[in-house]
């Protein structure tokens, strides 16, 4: 069983690197594990500029909203003139677009960063605080009973007059009745709190379940992935399944990793049979049990990763890819991880590491340089409109994330926020318009290197698959990382 969190497995934070108008920025959003909750936002200027102020604003997915609230002012971090920080409340579960506005000498620039707000944990009450609250509650309980008894016994007596036995008796009866009433009120309050807590527990995020079945059809191994829309929870109150939208031209990005040796990797793009069923021709993968990770985005901009497994028991024949962007590779797991690997066309890919240990929650230098077989910088072609794609997985499967040079954000989520209209509250309208609208996607030309903004969320041993494209061929480099 693997931990499933939001858009990526075990990697809940959001990383974005791009342009806010004329200002290149890197935005990191530390998502809260509870909703409502505070998201910590940092905005770093990648190029020095004279900036007057940086504004941040969370906009919830709701096309009916007449006007968003005013933005918050991000504060400059002491000791770093290029770093700004702020904290924003995410009040509802679902899709947010955090607008980052930079105002300075070059004018005003705006960047939109999609964020998925889901509750993934329950905050426990610390024992010292619980003990203090219990003692304070007992003091208030005793004080309330004592005040009621004193009021009944002495409220109508003159100064210095001692209460008779009748007043004392009435006071004791009043104290007993008030103690019972207060105890019942406390019991009812505890029951109400337990009900609220139970409702919150059932609302903790869980991705839709996926079932993978392998069959043989005319010599081809066909992998069918079926989503169960009724099984997911927590992304929206009373969540309903909404149509999916293409991300980088595909409704699903499916990744397979052989479970035993972690030596086989495939990046496939299944074809939709219906709204919840996808099929793809499987490459001639070696036998074994495979982990499956499927990235999907619905028309609200909510991106998530479904997880499953499948057992491959036989080698397939000649492979006819279901999609031109499909690719797979086998890389032997060596004892000593290499910083330079040889790709299938004879070119090399090098991880330009800084030489310092990789630490949890610190910016990782994921910069890769590709050289042709002669040792000269290689010319990379756009692969699904990007300079490259990287998949990062911890060896136990507890972390899996699909990265782009812009970060781990979804292009489809950006499109949904950019193109939404008031009428998009009707299910299916936005997805139909997205399918009919050609959205210009950024591409690269003649680049010889590719970088991915990211910080590893947990310690452990990781594998990194980096995919680039040269001369129409998809090439995959495999690297290892130990995170402290």
CATH architecture of 14-117: Sandwich (2.60)
Instruction: For strands 264-268 and 327-330, give the pairing.
Output: antiparallel
- Nearest-angstrom CA–CA distance, 466 and 479: 8
Q: Structure tokens of 108?
A: 């005003």
What is the pLDDT tens value at each position of the chain, 484 positions in all? 333 344 578 788 889 998 989 999 999 999 888 888 898 999 999 988 889 999 999 888 765 555 667 889 999 999 888 999 999 888 888 788 888 999 999 899 998 888 888 888 888 889 999 999 999 999 999 999 999 989 988 888 888 788 888 888 988 999 999 999 999 999 999 999 999 888 888 878 877 888 999 988 887 899 999 988 777 666 654 456 678 888 888 899 999 999 988 999 999 999 999 888 999 999 999 999 999 999 998 887 888 899 999 999 877 778 888 899 999 999 866 556 678 899 999 999 999 887 788 999 888 889 999 999 999 999 899 998 888 999 999 999 899 999 999 888 888 777 777 777 666 666 666 777 766 665 444 445 457 889 999 999 999 999 999 999 999 999 999 999 999 9
Tally of CA atoms within 13 A in the half-sphere of 352 that contains its CB:
11
How many CB atoms neighbour CB 389 within 10 A?
Answer: 25
pLDDT at 469: 93
Identify whether the C-beta of residue 388 lies closer than 8 Å to the C-beta of residue 368. Answer: yes
Strand order in the sheet with 23-30: 14-20, 23-30, 37-45, 83-90, 72-76, 51-60, 94-104, 107-117
Instruction: For strands 14-20 and 51-60, give the pairing.
Output: unpaired
pLDDT at 356: 83
The dihedrals phi and psi of 55, each to the nearest 5 degrees, come to -115, 145
Return the domain boundaries, the chain: 14-117, 131-202, 209-483
How many CB atoms neighbour CB 472 within 10 A?
Answer: 7
The dihedrals phi and psi of 153, each to the nearest 5 degrees, come to -80, -40
CA angle 79, 84, 86 (to 5 degrees): 125
pLDDT at 414: 77
Segment (H or E) for 141: helix 127-154
Q: Structure tokens of 336?
A: 């000593």
pLDDT at 120: 80
- Closest C-alpha to 15, from 46, 49, 43, 45: 43
The dihedrals phi and psi of 140, each to the nearest 5 degrees, come to -65, -40
- Nearest-angstrom CA–CA distance, 416 and 290: 32
Residue that is written with structure tokens 């020095």 in the block:
48
pLDDT at 346: 92
Buried b (16+ CB within 10 A) or exposed e, 211-241: ebebeeeeebbbbbbbbeeeebbbbbeebee
> Cα–chain-centroid distance for residue 386?
20
- Nearest-angstrom CA–CA distance, 456 and 324: 31
- Nearest-angstrom CA–CA distance, 403 and 8: 10
Angle of helix 429-436 relative to helix 411-419, nearest 10 degrees?
110
pLDDT at 268: 96
Helices of type H across 203-224: none
- Nearest-angstrom CA–CA distance, 190 and 203: 20
pLDDT at 437: 62
- Closest C-alpha to 281, from 358, 220, 342: 220
Q: Structure tokens of 46?
A: 């990648």
Identify whether the C-beta of residue 298 lies closer than 8 Å to the C-beta of residue 94. Answer: no
Q: What is the pTM of this model?
A: 0.84
> First-to-last CA distance in the chain?
24
- Nearest-angstrom CA–CA distance, 347 and 332: 18
């Amino acid at each position: 069983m693997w931990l499933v969190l939001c858009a990526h497995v075990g990697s809940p934070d959001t990383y974005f690197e791009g342009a806010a108008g004329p200002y290149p920025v890197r935005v990191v959003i530390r998502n809260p594990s509870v909703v409502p909750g505070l998201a910590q936002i940092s905005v770093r200027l990648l190029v020095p500029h004279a900036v007057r102020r940086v504004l941040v604003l969370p906009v919830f997915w709701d096309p009916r909203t007449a006007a968003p609230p005013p933005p918050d002012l991000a504060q400059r971090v002491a000791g770093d003139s290029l770093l700004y920080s702020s904290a924003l409340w995410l009040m509802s579960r679902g899709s947010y677009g955090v607008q980052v506005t930079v105002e300075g000498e070059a004018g005003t620039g705006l960047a939109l960063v999609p964020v998925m707000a889901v509750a993934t944990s329950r905050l426990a009450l610390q024992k010292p605080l619980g003990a203090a609250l219990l003692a304070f509650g007992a003091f208030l309980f005793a004080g309330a009973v004592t005040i009621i008894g004193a009021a009944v016994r002495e409220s109508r007596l003159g100064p210095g007059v001692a209460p008779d036995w009748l007043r004392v008796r009435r006071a004791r009866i009043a104290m007993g009745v008030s103690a019972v009433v207060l105890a019942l009120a406390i019991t009812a309050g505890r029951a109400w709190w337990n009900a609220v807590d139970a409702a919150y527990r059932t609302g903790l995020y869980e991705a839709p379940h996926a079932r993978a079945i392998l069959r043989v059809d005319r010599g081809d191994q066909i992998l069918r992935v079926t989503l169960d829309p009724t099984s997911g929870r927590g992304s929206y109150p009373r969540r309903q399944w909404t149509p999916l939208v293409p991300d980088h031209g595909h409704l699903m990005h499916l990744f397979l990793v052989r479970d035993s040796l972690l030596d086989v990797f495939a990046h496939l793009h299944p074809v939709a049979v219906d709204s919840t069923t996808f099929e793809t021709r499987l490459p001639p993968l070696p036998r074994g049990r495979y982990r499956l990770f499927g990235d999907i985005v619905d028309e609200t901009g909510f991106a998530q990763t479904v997880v499953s497994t499948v057992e491959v028991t036989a080698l397939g024949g000649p492979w006819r890819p279901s999609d031109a962007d499909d690719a797979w590779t086998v890389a032997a797991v060596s004892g000593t991880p290499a910083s330079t690997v040889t790709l299938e066309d004879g070119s090399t890919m090098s991880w330009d590491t800084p030489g310092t240990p990789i630490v949890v929650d610190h910016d990782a230098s994921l910069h890769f340089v590709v050289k042709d077989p002669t040792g000269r910088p290689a010319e990379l072609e756009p692969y699904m409109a990007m300079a490259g794609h990287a998949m990062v997985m911890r060896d136990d499967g507890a972390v899996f994330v699909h990265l782009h040079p812009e970060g781990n954000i979804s292009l489809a989520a950006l499109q949904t926020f950019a193109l939404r209209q008031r009428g998009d509250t009707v299910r299916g309208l936005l997805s139909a318009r997205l399918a009919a609208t050609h959205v210009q996607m950024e591409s690269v030309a003649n680049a010889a290197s590719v970088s991915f903004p990211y910080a590893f969320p947990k310690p452990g041993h990781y594998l990194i698959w980096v995919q680039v494209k040269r001369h129409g061929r998809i090439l995959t480099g495999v690297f290892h990382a130990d995170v402290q």
